[in-house]
């Protein structure tokens, strides 16, 4: 959840570090800090609260160091405070460290270090790292040029858990060491300077050339060189990867908020995700995949495993895979998956969805499935992310950077990619139907239909004014529309803080209808022609009990039955969630704006959940 930035070069580090932290604010945090080397001494400036607070710290304008590390913290060990903020130093003030992740054995390490004379000044797990590095540094008998590197390697060998770490040392003012395990970290290569970050957008304005570290690899950086080592300190060679994102795509481009910008970027995100995978009359192809008819025919089950919004995209994927490929498919919440001893073997295929590719629960579930012999596929928006390096196969959405915490364009990109994957599986199985032919045509038409749907924003904004003070809002749907109800409810909760629940419309009479009273708002989605009349019947039950109703539909229904009807373009039910969710994204957005809330950074939430 935290953010990391680092710089080593010829410029003043502090402005670059703070700028990077500002670009990482979307990840969610409660404190921020930077550390630089000033005249062979370590300087630390940190405080709880927003990154902008750093500008007011005494002495920050006097920093001249050209090497430094920075951090935004999301509290896991110890309350938000200046003492618990990163960076942290060892007792001798030789090392400074920032860290993302969780050190699971920090109690044990803290006890060990305390017995060896070290004192701790924070409640964090991170503070054991610089002191442990110092412990080994004092004992290290190797040559001076390798002493720093060996001490870091030995300390990291003792750490259990997840970590992305940047370390600077006052004795090595021209070097920085970084390493990672199960937590994101990238290195940006510049001219006579190098950058480090937990997320590419933070440093994309400085470079497009990046190195990606695998678990337990280390890198020692100078201003003009980077040396890479494996966990045994054997030198390794890495090639840079060029990121084609435009740096301005991480800015608001004139929109009031990132979330609104990203909602309106969905036509482009869908076009990019569809790419050249198929044309209307051609077979669907994934260059990254080579599944055979024999392999797919022998599968007993497919699992789709994800968290939150990605899990809701998985539900749409389940619908497509089962109906097009006739393979039993289950969708599981990643945080629960490992703990129910799932029935996974070599005849199980497991798909893992994560926008960031760094979701800790999803990665842990992936590792379990690999141990059980299943073939795995990762779906992510981030090339080179942890989940894509762990999985046997990976495919990517091409939504571009998503800055707002509440996911919008990543969700719709995931739904379209899952649907295309289902078509690919069906065609590999030599299942050719008119349904698949029609579905391909409808997928190619999606971007223009999304643009049409976005034109409904003013109508949705007007309705949001009427309901923004509600305490409870309910979402209903049947079939594929129930998956949209789940996502619409989640969006509303995330950014407006209104309590909302989603239910299959047919379940109303089995309990939830007791919650309906005069004036309560009920939102219903109706896009499946075969279920429209049944859903209308269910909605009539809440209308007779005094509920206000908003209906999102692409069917020919009597609109005067409801308080407001949003009519979206007609499309294939397999991909209707991509269109029907857009009015609900806008509804959540406008309600939140009407309440005066921070749309992009809702309370208690972070963009990437990189710890369990």
Active site residues: 2, 607
| Residue 255 DSSP symbol | -
Measured CA to CA, the distance from residue 568 to residue 397 in angstroms comes to 24
Q: Classify the C-alpha dihedral 294-295-299-303 as positive or negative.
A: negative
Strand partners, 526: 553
Measured CA to CA, the distance from residue 153 to residue 179 in angstroms comes to 9
| Residue 241 DSSP symbol | E
Q: Compute φ and ψ for 608, nearest 5 degrees.
A: -115, 120
Contact predicate 230/193, CB 8 Å: no
H-helix or E-strand containing 41?
strand 41-48
Residue 262's CB is within 10 A of a number of other CB atoms, namely 25
Measured CA to CA, the distance from residue 282 to residue 274 in angstroms comes to 13
Instruction: Give the three-class secondary structure for 88.
Output: strand
In this structure, what token pair is assigned to residue 576? 């209707």
Nearest to 277 by CA among 289, 268, 265: 289
Instruction: Give the three-class secondary structure for 490.
Output: helix
Instruction: Give the three-class secondary structure for 575.
Output: coil
In this structure, what token pair is assigned to residue 28? 């969610």
Per DSSP, the chain holds a count of helices (H) and strands (E) of: 17, 25
Measured CA to CA, the distance from residue 406 to residue 263 in angstroms comes to 10
Measured CA to CA, the distance from residue 373 to residue 392 in angstroms comes to 11
| Residue 9 DSSP symbol | S
Measured CA to CA, the distance from residue 305 to residue 393 in angstroms comes to 15
Measured CA to CA, the distance from residue 81 to residue 51 in angstroms comes to 14
């Amino acid at each position: 959840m935290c953010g990391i930035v680092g710089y080593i070069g010829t410029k003043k580090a502090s402005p670059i570090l703070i700028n990077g932290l500002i670009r990482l604010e979307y990840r969610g945090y409660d404190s921020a800090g930077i550390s630089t080397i000033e005249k062979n001494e370590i300087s630390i400036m940190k405080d709880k609260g927003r990154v902008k607070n750093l500008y007011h710290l005494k002495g920050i304008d006097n920093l001249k160091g050209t090497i430094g590390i920075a951090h935004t913290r999301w509290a896991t060990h110890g309350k938000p405070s200046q003492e618990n903020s990163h960076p942290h130093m060892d007792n001798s003030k030789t090392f400074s460290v920032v860290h993302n992740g969780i050190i699971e054995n920090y109690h044990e390490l803290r006890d060990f270090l305390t017995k060896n004379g070290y004192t701790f000044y924070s409640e964090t797990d991170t503070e054991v790292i610089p002191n442990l590095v110092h412990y080994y540094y004092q004992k290290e008998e190797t040559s001076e040029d390798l002493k720093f590197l060996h001490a870091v390697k030995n300390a990291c060998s003792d750490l259990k858990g997840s970590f992305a770490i940047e370390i600077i040392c006052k004795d090595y003012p021209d070097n920085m060491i970084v390493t990672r395990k199960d937590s994101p970290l990238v290195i940006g290569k510049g001219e006579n300077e190098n950058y480090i970050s937990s997320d590419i957008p933070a440093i994309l304005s400085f470079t497009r050339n990046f190195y990606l570290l695998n678990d337990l690899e280390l890198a020692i950086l100078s201003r003009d060189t980077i040396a890479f080592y494996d966990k045994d300190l054997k030198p390794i060679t890495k090639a840079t990867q060029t990121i084609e994102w435009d740096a301005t795509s991480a800015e608001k481009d004139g929109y009031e908020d990132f979330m609104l910008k990203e909602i309106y970027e969905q036509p482009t995100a869908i076009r990019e995700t569809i790419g050249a995978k198929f044309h209307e009359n051609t077979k669907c192809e994934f260059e990254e995949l080579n599944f055979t008819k024999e392999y797919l025919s022998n599968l007993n089950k497919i699992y789709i495993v994800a968290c939150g919004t990605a899990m809701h995209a998985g539900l749409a994927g389940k619908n497509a895979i089962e109906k097009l490929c006739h393979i039993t498919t289950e969708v599981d919440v990643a945080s629960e998956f490992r703990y129910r001893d799932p029935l996974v073997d070599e005849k199980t295929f497991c798909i893992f969805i994560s926008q960031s590719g760094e979701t800790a629960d999803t990665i842990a579930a992936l590792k379990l499935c690999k141990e059980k012999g299943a073939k795995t596929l990762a779906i992510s928006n981030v090339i080179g992310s942890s989940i894509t390096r762990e999985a046997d196969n990976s495919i990517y959405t091409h939504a571009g950077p998503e800055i707002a915490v509440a996911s919008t364009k990543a969700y719709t990109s995931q739904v379209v990619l899952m649907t295309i994957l289902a078509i690919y599986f069906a065609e590999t199985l030599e299942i050719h139907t008119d349904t698949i032919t029609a579905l391909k045509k409808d997928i190619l038409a999606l971007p223009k239909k999304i643009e049409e749907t976005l034109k409904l924003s003013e109508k949705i904004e007007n309705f949001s004014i009427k309901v923004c003070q509600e305490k409870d809002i309910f979402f209903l749907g049947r079939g594929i529309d129930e998956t949209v109800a789940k996502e619409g409810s989640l969006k509303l909760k995330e950014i407006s803080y209104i309590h909302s629940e989603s239910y299959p419309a047919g379940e109303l009479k089995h309990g939830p209808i007791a919650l309906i009273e005069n004036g309560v708002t009920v939102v219903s989605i109706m896009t499946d022609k075969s279920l429209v009349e049944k859903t209308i019947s269910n909605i009539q039950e809440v209308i007779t009990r005094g509920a206000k109703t908003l209906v999102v539909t692409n069917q020919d229904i009597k609109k005067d039955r409801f308080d407001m009807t949003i009519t979206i373009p007609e499309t294939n039910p397999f991909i209707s969630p991509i269109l029907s969710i857009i009015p609900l994204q806008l509804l959540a957005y406008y309600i939140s704006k009407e309440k005066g809330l921070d749309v992009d950074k809702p309370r208690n939430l972070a963009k990437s959940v990189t710890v369990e």
